[in-house]
Chain A
Amino acid sequence: MSDTRALLSVSELEAWYGESHILHGVTFDVRPGEVVTLLGRNGVGKTTTLKAIMGIIEKRTGSVRFEGKELIELPSDAIARRGIAFCPEERGIFASLDVKENLLLPLQVRPGGLDLDRIFELFPNLRERLGSQGTKLSGGEQQMLAIGRILRTGARLLLLDEPTEGLAPVIIEQIGRTIGTLKAQGFTILLVEQNFRFAATVADRYYVMEHGHVVDHFAAAELEANTEKLHDYLGV
């Protein structure tokens, strides 16, 4: 499945949380400019996959290649500096930092990131709240801040972990539109989602995970034909 055109290729990735073996050889790839979604029930290893790519989980083996270069031995700060940015499920907004400091925190790793004005075009709410304490924002605003701050870095690959979790439909729509805009601007996005109906509005391809493996794979166009199978995988 290794694709020479891939921006990110993950192969036989295994990862451990302490003693528990979570990923048992995950293999997939993401091509430049794609939005790829990892689907699967709770606890199948989707978040762990993102964290293992990012080096946040240090106990890992296999191969993670980005722009053709191996990342598996690198610590997470070095991986970030290669041009991958991560938006965690819990959003990771810092309480001791105001909104502006939160926005400016991630290191600019390459030229070509969005400047603050462009970020405010995507998320106008943030401009009004620049001086507020990060965690005083609403859940939706925190999610916008969590996505907005990684757009500044110049990273071309964004790992987004459940960006719609716990948010109101109108905000989910806004985040969907944002992902569309980012894709149009040439960002590549690897998305983890429980919300399959949301994923269906933004993704080009899907990988389905079960028990720490990728068990299935299809393109957006094949979605209709696979609906029944998906319902089985996801238990909906």
Chain B
Amino acid sequence: MFEIFGIPSQALFGQLLLGLINGSFYALLSLGLAVIFGMLNIINFAHGAQYMMGAFAAYLLLQHAGIGYWEALVVAPIVVGATGVLVERLLLKHLRKLDPLYGLLLTFGLAIVIEGLFRNSYGSSGLPYQVPESLRGGHNLGFMFLPNYRAWVIVLSLAVCLATWFAIERTRLGSYLRAATENPVLVRAFGINVPRMVTLTYGFGVGLAALAGVMAAPIYNVSPQMGSDLIIVVFAVVVIGGMGSIMGAILTGFTLGIVEGLTKVFFPEASNTVIFVIMAIVLLIRPAGFFGRTA
């Protein structure tokens, strides 16, 4: 045991770890929001509800089909992503030519409806979801104790974020996506089925939220309001990072998680508000956010 700035190392690194965990979820969720915003120009207010659906999908798969965590990591995002595809095809598609505000209102309404439906069926107290057997326990690193599952969440989140960044910024398919973000009309006139790409992009962004939900299930309880608690902070993260930059969303997510964790150590009273304070300052100094493109 040693001290840094008069703080015991256990407390410092413990909060740093917690910050990284939160940052992992901020990054995954704001990444999905950025991808959806880029392509659909819609701020997806249902993102928190879709994250919650991911956690519930994992829970229900286990309860009713005996499908465990590892399978759920793949199945839940696909299932919830498919509901996203339906939402885009049946609802959002019709708003494409209207002001983006309509999309925001629609997804906001959807979030409330989805949350209400789940609360009706499962109550609001929260349901337990076990850490998978192979990830129980942890390691003593000397300066702190590192639970295996938390380490896994950080690694997986980083890997998924970087893979998504690579797919968008460095591949052929990603170049279609970037081009369609800039000028969908021309990309379509080049023979590419842009409406289908928009649908799949929304499904993918929703799938990312659901993946975060599955990862969160063993850490937090599975509850209908788990998404709305988190999403407010994620929107602040997005405002700080700036819409429209993939790497920006990832970096801002992790950084703000860490900032929040460190604030808990040094000035606990501010830990719930620090992100919003940063948001206010960023809005004053750089309204487009750190990585945002000004229109």
Contact = CB atoms under 8 A, between A and B. Distances in A.
Given A56-B185, A88-B186, A92-B183, A106 B178 contact: no
Contacts of A101: 172, 175, 179
Nearest to B170: A101
A54 B189 CA distance: 7
B89 to A, nearest CB: 16
Contacts of B183: 92, 94
Contact of B188 (A76, A97, A109): A76
B175 A77 contact: no
Interface residues of B, number: 18
B187 interface: yes
Contact of B189 (A80, A97, A104): A80
Contacts of A106: 190-191
Given A77-B194, A96-B178, A105 B187 contact: yes
Interface in B132-191: 172, 175-176, 178-179, 181-183, 185-191
A97 B179 contact: yes
B117 interface: no
Contacts of B191: 77, 80-81, 106-107, 109, 153
Given A101-B175, A104-B175, A105-B176, A96 B182 contact: yes
A77 B192 contact: yes
A94 B189 contact: no
Nearest to A153: B191
B193 interface: yes
Contacts of B181: 96
Residue among B172, B178, B189 facing the most chain A CB atoms (10 A cut-off)? B189
A75 interface: yes
A77 B182 contact: no
B97 to A, nearest CB: 10
Q: Is the interface of B mostly helix, strand, loop or mixed?
A: helix
A77 B189 CA distance: 5
Contacts of B192: 77, 107
A56 B175 contact: no
Interface string A137-156: 00000000000001001000
A86 interface: yes
Contacts of B178: 94, 96-97
B190 A97 contact: no
A55 B175 contact: no
B182 A76 contact: no
Interface in A69-100: 75-77, 79-81, 85-86, 88, 92, 94-97
26 contacts: A56-B185, A75-B188, A76-B189, A77-B188, A77-B191, A79-B189, A80-B191, A85-B190, A88-B186, A94-B178, A96-B178, A96-B179, A97-B178, A101-B172, A101-B179, A104-B172, A104-B175, A105-B187, A105-B190, A106-B190, A106-B191, A107-B190, A107-B191, A107-B192, A109-B191, A153-B191
Given A97-B175, A97-B179, 16 more contacts: A56-B185, A56-B188, A77-B189, A80-B191, A85-B190, A86-B189, A94-B178, A94-B179, A96-B181, A96-B182, A97-B178, A104-B172, A105-B175, A105-B179, A105-B190, A150-B190
